[in-house]
Amino acid sequence: MTKDNRTILSPMQRLLGEDFNPALLMIMIRKSLLWCILIMLVTVSVSLLYLRYTLPTYEVNAALIVKPTNTAQALNIEGGLFQAKNSNLDIEKDIQLMKSNVILDGVIDSLDLLVSYYLSGKFLNEELYPNHPFRIHVENIDDKITDQPIRFRFISGQKFQLDFSGDDQWKTYEFGKRGGEHTR
């Protein structure tokens, strides 16, 4: 006579097999729970610090689609002679237009690249382009201050201070007046 040994398996044992022991799993989790939490805290902290104190990197992509205007096709004129000639001329016109110095100068002037705005922090200086809180219009470019940081701070709604030297030698100016007119 053979005895039919049937064992009652838990749902986890049925899913993972007879060798799975849920009690042993709980003991292992309790022993290593502190290490799991510690590793998670360290990795999250390091990733947050990395994201907070590294400068953002920007990437620009552009796609140019040239669609020639085919006047022969628009007028329902059948003839391959006009189509080939017009499409090449249109593409050449577009290329000449894009290479035009007048257009490139206009684009560069509209980007406001003469002045860079930075917000000074404890660890990083964050660039504020294009979201700067004020706009500076450069009238004369002096070689002494080109590529030199000029620090700026608001005093009130009518006055501000500038430091050209970086040695905390602040000069007070009034909004709406030219650069030579300043007060102490």
Between the alpha carbon of residue 92 and those of residues 85, 87, 97, 113, the distances in Å are 11, 9, 9, 30
- The pLDDT tens digits of the residues spanning 84-112 come to 455 566 677 777 777 778 777 887 777 77
Task: Tell me if 70 sits within 8 A of 86, measured CB to CB.
Answer: yes
| Domain extent listing, the chain | 14-52, 71-110, 114-184
Instruction: Identify the helix (H) or strand (E) that includes residue 50.
Output: helix 22-52
The pTM assigned to this predicted structure is: 0.43
Task: Tell me if 124 sits within 8 A of 53, measured CB to CB.
Answer: yes
- The pLDDT tens digits of the residues spanning 23-43 come to 888 898 889 999 999 999 999
Between the alpha carbon of residue 46 and those of residues 34, 50, 52, 123, the distances in Å are 18, 6, 10, 16
- The pLDDT tens digits of the residues spanning 55-79 come to 777 777 777 666 655 555 555 555 5
Is it the case that residue 126 has pLDDT exceeding 80?
A: no
